[in-house]
Structure 1
Amino acid sequence: MGRHSLPDAKATGTGRARSPRRRTVSIATALVLAVAAGTGVAAQSGLLSFADPCADAPVRLDLAASPDIAPALRAIADRARQDRVTTDGHCLDVRVEARENYQVAAALADGSGTPGYQVWVPDSDVWVERAKGLGDGISLTPAGTVATSPVTLATVPTTARTLGWPRKSYTWAELAATATGADGLLLGSADPARSATGLLALSSIAESSRQKGADSDTRTAATAELLTQRVSDTDTRVLETLAQDDSGAEKGNPRRNEAVLLSEQAAFAHNSEGSGSTNLNLFYPTDGAPVLDYPYSLVDETELTTDQSRAAMRFMALLGDEAAYRTLQEHGFRVADTALDPTLVRTAGGLAPQPYDGNDAGPPSSESLQRALGLWTVTVQSARLTTVVDTSGSMAAPVPGRDGQSRMDVTKASLLRALAGFTPEDEIGLWEFATRLDGATDYRELEKTARLGEPVKGGGTHRDRLSDAFTALKPVPDGDTGLYDTMLAAYREAVATYVSGKFNALVILTDGSNKDDDSISRAELIKRLKTVVDPRRPVPLIAIAVGPDADRDEVDTIARATGGAGYEVSDPAEIQAVMLRAVMLSAGLTGPDSTAADRS
């Protein structure tokens, strides 16, 4: 990604279309000279021919373009027709059609149909990589970059002032922390699975957060969870979610966003409309804005005719013309090797000392984009979680600094907060465990794992019943842990009731190691878990060790037998955030260098 120069059309003498005025003068001069030479009659009789390059059928080129840049490309193509720009002696006829990037990428990756266009200009190289798929799709031949536009955070004016715009600047991690804090922003985004803007921003947040410290995965997961609640299908629709006036979203419709992840060009177009909508102000993160880079690619080049191939390269050269540059800039795009127009930035909503003219962030690696997309997929995918909570006597111990609240009190409050973040389509269940809860059995199912929106007898939903069950949890006096038997029984049940199409996991919270002489040993537990694991029905065990008596290394060793992991929290209030991080890690989204130390 980034900026790449197009061929210098003026240097070759073929890229710059002459103006209509110059062409008219040339034709008139030729006719005058012809008459002066006494050849007018011959010309009228057809004995002398002045070939019109557009008399024959022009060379037709179909171009699919990202909806944001399609109007600019269409204007350039229209001007080329008006100026009678030629390719190999034939007039150039480029037809531009706006198409959603993710739809084109999916169709090219599938490779089963005929595209119907010879050139593709998406908004980002992200889509070119997506279109390559597994290598079985329709081939793409890169030929340069048309324009660029940095990805920013756009806010309504009242929110911008609250955040200190334009003097106060933020990194991506700081913006994420502001959005997910106690008084967080009503922040919207286009779906990162369908929007390069959303995906690049989420990847930038993840990378910036990694630079800040060990809780980076938690922060990124929390941001993704926030965005899932206010996501739009496309970049165009995300603008429709913004607050409509300068009163601020809190005083207006709470479903309206105060801020959105947006490209500079989209903000430029919004602010240029003059429709009465509130103009946006832009924050450019200090650790670099990733850019939309609008790559120009030939589609299935081996199937192009010679005329089509040359026409495609002719139009690409034309996009390096000064007139084309002006058109792109008038539509809010930055162009390579050209000084940034401060009017463009001001119209878009940028203002010094925001670092709008700093270096763009380097293009994210394919691995980082895949991690961000994987995180998003897991976050938005419906979950099926069976939660197993320790109710042994030690859960009655007070938590330091919590005004006498017990481990159980704080654990319940954290679980209830986590429950509020799940959708009606998510499936959650609840078990409790302590020694001899039911005769010799150390565990008990309190609520089946079911869809939160499912109606229940007596009125209400499964969410209501589960909330009541969380609230009713209490320590069993003198009860020990009974951990190993519980883990095995709960894991067997989770695999047996696996639901495809959802993220299935078993979440166990315990404040101590196993203290039950009648239980199986840890070695035996691991051995039996391995026999239950089914790669076709993956259920990672997420084990969270709570409090100073818990042994994280022990639960991590056990959980790894299922493809899961163990975690440690000193304060039960951290459970909600750790659960988000655990889901991401269990899905293998933090890369191959994750270690047990990362899970502390």
Structure 2
Amino acid sequence: MAPGSWRTAARSDSPLPTGSALRPRRLLALAALLTGAAVALTGCFGGGGGNGADGGTGDFIDDGCTHIVVATSSEKVNMLDALADAFKESPEHDGLDTCATVRPINVSSGDATRFLTASQDSWPNENTELWPTLWSPASTVWTERVAAAGSPALVGEPESFTRTPVVFGMPEAMARALGYPASPVSITDLEQLCSNPRGWASVGKDVWGSFKISKTNPNTSTTGLSAILMQSYEASGKTSDLTSADVAAAADFSRVFEECVIHYGDTTGKVLNTLYDETQNGAGGSGYVSAVALEETSLLNYNQGNPDSHTVQPGETLKPPKEKLVAIYPEGGSMWSDNPITVLGADWVTPEQTEAGNAFAAFLQTTAAQRILPEYGFRPLDESVPLGDLFTGEYGVDAAGPAITLPRPSVDVVSAAIDQWTQIRKPSSVLELIDISGSMDDPIGDGRSKLDGAIEGAQSTLSHFRSSDEVGVWAFTTDIESEAGKGIAVLRDVEPLGSDRESLDTSLDDLHYATRQGTPLYDSIALAYDNMVARAEPGRINAIVVLSDGQDTDSSISLDSLIAKISQASREGGDDAPVRIFPIAYGEGADSSALQRIAEATGGQWFDASDAAKIDLVFASVINNF
């Protein structure tokens, strides 16, 4: 088994722990707040494992100890669970009047920032036992943003305990085509490949097609935020003292860079999963993506056979990819995710939890704790601790990299970079295809039907799109027909959104009164795909979002024929303007296997909304890709 893979804490990948629920109206208000800032709720509250918890599904086990939760970015859940076990045996724990049980839960750095900025007296989870005492985002950038929003006491005094650089992961063959490892590769080198219409042919690789980058949304992701700051550093020629004026001057450089983006993943894990599946099921290489902006620790997990950095379960065997990714430490420098931890000054944190939280934070600085970090692909701050076997070329990294460290800019510069990205990010053309079959009347347990949840999820994400983005909405069931074909109702053609948000909101409300019959899922996807392929343009993210709660019951085309159709279209001239499908498997009856195959055939991603009450969060996570 690969180093660091022995932890077996049960953890959920869903946005909320099973058994917990959000107050529906409060959730909708919160979702509207976050998506209004172009933020999606992604991967929140996936529970940690042992340490007195019931497997990540609800309350702590009653062990007589003070219970404290650490809200942390996903890649640290496994490591913090191991650190929580070690803490129990530490002098820092022995010094407490009452024993303490620590439990990590997964909340993206950007989402936690919005939650804390919005409220100091509550947390959006009905289960108060899972409200955090400690917060460990991937970067101090996020704690500074909360403090700058008027809540410095809330985030206390963050202190880093580990770090990992932001790199560009590239398939080894592609990196070697750019001179790796003998010659350093710069962000300018990548930008030139983006701007050159010949793509990979410009460096002698005619059959590789265009150069494609995957990045995450900087509103929720530290790697996405670091990447746009690194672009500004590169364009300015600076290695320190980045200013808002530098960011503004870098707009054209960064815009070219964004044009290479295949789509903005909500997490690097989903992109890496798609890449991993393509390499394992093919000849070893993949044309899906050329470079992925990610943290070094995520690259290490990928090369061990754990592309989404999930918790390895008992009996699970990791299988390394056929072609590893190698870390490109940009010649102009890398930013680091410095992974602070802080005790929150929130109203819900008790004095006993504050004391235990401070003890755990102190323990993380000890040599005993620092020795655990490299097992999970993180670099210790204690320089006396060896990095170990993971930090070698075998796993695609260079223990001596990066050569240049780019400092974290001030809060106003970070804000300027995020605001700029909102304007220059790659434009999108998205068709939302919504199932309105009879089963959509089923309740989802929070006073809403499945259809209510789908409508409200779609409405709450409209503010994510710019007026220049193209948005269309179709609904499908049997016994209806439109100019788009049988089984389709066109609520809105795919066209620039402009000032039509309110009218589209009203059109979505009309679905409450629509006829609801059978489920021609495959036929509807085929019609939507033909429509989008015919109008797809290079330089845009062309995508279909499919929401379905059931099995196909009424299509004339089979699943295999649909897969063959969209796979062929993707191969034949689809490299310049691919149409990717992002299905949402909605409720327990959804055909997750079929929807996953459909997504994979186009290089898209599928999303699990088997807990239908979480559809608001999942819908926002999907839209975060555009």
TM-score (norm 2): 0.49
> Structure 2 matches for 1:70-89, cutoff 5 A?
70-81=77-88, 85-89=93-97
1:30-52 deviation line (CA, Å, top 9, x unaligned):
xxxxxxxxxxxxxxxxxxxxxxx
Instruction: Tell me, yes or no, if the aligned pair for 2:367 and 2:382 is still in contact at 8 Å.
Output: no
Cα distance between partner residues in 1 of 2:413 and 2:78: 32
Give the match for residue 290 of structure 2.
Answer: 258
- In the alignment, does 2:174 pair up with 1:159? yes
Q: How far is the alpha carbon of 1:331 from its aligned partner? A: 0.4
The 3-state SS of whatever aligns with 1:260 is strand
Give the match for residue 370 of structure 1.
Answer: 415
The 3-state SS of whatever aligns with 2:173 is helix
Name the CA shift for 1:372/1:225 in 2 (closer, same or farther; >3 Å).
farther
> Structure 2 matches for 1:398-477, cutoff 5 A?
none
The residue identity in structure 1 corresponding to 2:185 is Y
Q: How far is the alpha carbon of 1:208 from its aligned partner? A: 0.8
Q: How far is the alpha carbon of 1:198 from its aligned partner? A: 1.2
Cα distance between partner residues in 2 of 1:87 and 1:68: 29
Q: Please give the root-mean-square deviation of Cα atoms over the aligned residues, in Å.
A: 4.1
Name the CA shift for 1:218/1:69 in 2 (closer, same or farther; >3 Å).
same
Cα distance between partner residues in 1 of 2:233 and 2:405: 15
- In the alignment, does 2:117 pair up with 1:109? yes
Cα distance between partner residues in 2 of 1:427 and 1:310: 49
Q: How far is the alpha carbon of 1:78 from its aligned partner? A: 1.6
Give the match for residue 91 of structure 1.
Answer: 99
Give the match for residue 220 of structure 2.
Answer: 194
Instruction: Tell me, yes or no, if the aligned pair for 1:171 and 1:285 is still in contact at 8 Å.
Output: yes
Give the match for residue 142 of structure 2.
Answer: 127
The 3-state SS of whatever aligns with 2:157 is strand
Cα distance between partner residues in 2 of 1:241 and 1:176: 24
Give the match for residue 344 of structure 1.
Answer: 390
Q: Which has the larger radius of gyration?
A: 1
Give the match for residue 356 of structure 1.
Answer: 401
Name the CA shift for 1:172/1:125 in 2 (closer, same or farther; >3 Å).
same
Give the match for residue 301 of structure 2.
Answer: 269
Cα distance between partner residues in 2 of 1:465 and 1:62: 44
Cα distance between partner residues in 2 of 1:241 and 1:293: 27
The residue identity in structure 2 corresponding to 1:499 is S
The 3-state SS of whatever aligns with 1:69 is helix
Number of aligned residue pairs: 351
Instruction: Tell me, yes or no, if the aligned pair for 1:158 and 1:248 is still in contact at 8 Å.
Output: no
Query: Larger relative CO (CA 8 A, sep 6+): 1 or 2?
Result: 2
Give the match for residue 236 of structure 1.
Answer: 269
Q: How far is the alpha carbon of 1:288 from its aligned partner? A: 1.4
Q: How far is the alpha carbon of 1:267 from its aligned partner? A: 0.7
> Structure 2 matches for 1:12-411, cutoff 5 A?
57-81=64-88, 85-111=93-119, 113-115=121-123, 116-132=131-147, 134-135=149-150, 139-182=154-197, 183=199, 184-211=210-237, 216-227=250-261, 229-242=262-275, 244=277, 254=287, 256-273=288-305, 274-277=318-321, 278-300=323-345, 304-338=349-383, 341=387, 343-346=389-392, 348-351=395-398, 356-380=401-425
Q: How far is the alpha carbon of 1:248 from its aligned partner? A: 12
Give the match for residue 40 of structure 2.
Answer: none
Instruction: Tell me, yes or no, if the aligned pair for 1:166 and 1:351 is still in contact at 8 Å.
Output: no
- In the alignment, does 2:499 pair up with 1:499? yes
Name the CA shift for 1:130/1:81 in 2 (closer, same or farther; >3 Å).
same
Cα distance between partner residues in 1 of 2:66 and 2:134: 14
The 3-state SS of whatever aligns with 2:159 is strand
Instruction: Tell me, yes or no, if the aligned pair for 1:122 and 1:294 is still in contact at 8 Å.
Output: yes
Q: How far is the alpha carbon of 1:333 from its aligned partner? A: 0.6
Name the CA shift for 1:458/1:144 in 2 (closer, same or farther; >3 Å).
closer
The residue identity in structure 2 corresponding to 1:338 is E
The residue identity in structure 2 corresponding to 1:203 is L
Identity rate, percent:
23
Q: How far is the alpha carbon of 1:138 from its aligned partner? A: 7.8
Q: How far is the alpha carbon of 1:122 from its aligned partner? A: 0.8
Instruction: Tell me, yes or no, if the aligned pair for 1:146 and 1:296 is still in contact at 8 Å.
Output: yes
Q: How far is the alpha carbon of 1:226 from its aligned partner? A: 2.7
The residue identity in structure 1 corresponding to 2:77 is A
Name the CA shift for 1:276/1:217 in 2 (closer, same or farther; >3 Å).
same
Name the CA shift for 1:259/1:244 in 2 (closer, same or farther; >3 Å).
farther
Q: How far is the alpha carbon of 1:82 from its aligned partner? A: 5.5
The 3-state SS of whatever aligns with 1:174 is helix
The residue identity in structure 2 corresponding to 1:343 is D
1:104-142 deviation line (CA, Å, top 9, x unaligned):
111111106523111100111122233346326981102
Name the CA shift for 1:225/1:194 in 2 (closer, same or farther; >3 Å).
farther
Cα distance between partner residues in 1 of 2:320 and 2:277: 9
Q: How far is the alpha carbon of 1:189 from its aligned partner? A: 1.2
Name the CA shift for 1:210/1:378 in 2 (closer, same or farther; >3 Å).
same
Cα distance between partner residues in 2 of 1:296 and 1:344: 24
1:7-59 deviation line (CA, Å, top 9, x unaligned):
xxxxxxxxxxxxxxxxxxxxxxxxxxxxxxxxxxxxxxxxxxxxxxxx99323
Cα distance between partner residues in 2 of 1:323 and 1:251: 40
Instruction: Tell me, yes or no, if the aligned pair for 2:258 and 2:424 is still in contact at 8 Å.
Output: yes
Cα distance between partner residues in 2 of 1:358 and 1:343: 20
Q: How far is the alpha carbon of 1:238 from its aligned partner? A: 2.6
The 3-state SS of whatever aligns with 2:99 is strand
Long gaps (5+) in structure 1: 1-54, 385-424, 429-449, 467-496, 503-600
The 3-state SS of whatever aligns with 2:102 is strand
Give the match for residue 596 of structure 2.
Answer: none
Cα distance between partner residues in 2 of 1:500 and 1:130: 32
Q: How far is the alpha carbon of 1:253 from its aligned partner? A: 6.0
Q: How far is the alpha carbon of 1:240 from its aligned partner? A: 2.1
Instruction: Tell me, yes or no, if the aligned pair for 1:86 and 1:92 is still in contact at 8 Å.
Output: no
The residue identity in structure 1 corresponding to 2:499 is V
The 3-state SS of whatever aligns with 1:68 is helix
Q: How far is the alpha carbon of 1:337 from its aligned partner? A: 3.6
Q: How far is the alpha carbon of 1:371 from its aligned partner? A: 2.5
The residue identity in structure 1 corresponding to 2:70 is L
Cα distance between partner residues in 2 of 1:211 and 1:262: 22
1:439-474 deviation line (CA, Å, top 9, x unaligned):
xxxxxxxxxxx958799x99999xx999xxxxxxxx
Cα distance between partner residues in 2 of 1:500 and 1:366: 34
Name the CA shift for 1:459/1:59 in 2 (closer, same or farther; >3 Å).
closer
The residue identity in structure 2 corresponding to 1:210 is S
Cα distance between partner residues in 2 of 1:247 and 1:91: 46
Cα distance between partner residues in 1 of 2:407 and 2:273: 30
Cα distance between partner residues in 1 of 2:182 and 2:277: 25
Name the CA shift for 1:501/1:357 in 2 (closer, same or farther; >3 Å).
same
1:63-99 deviation line (CA, Å, top 9, x unaligned):
1111111211111112333669324332222122222
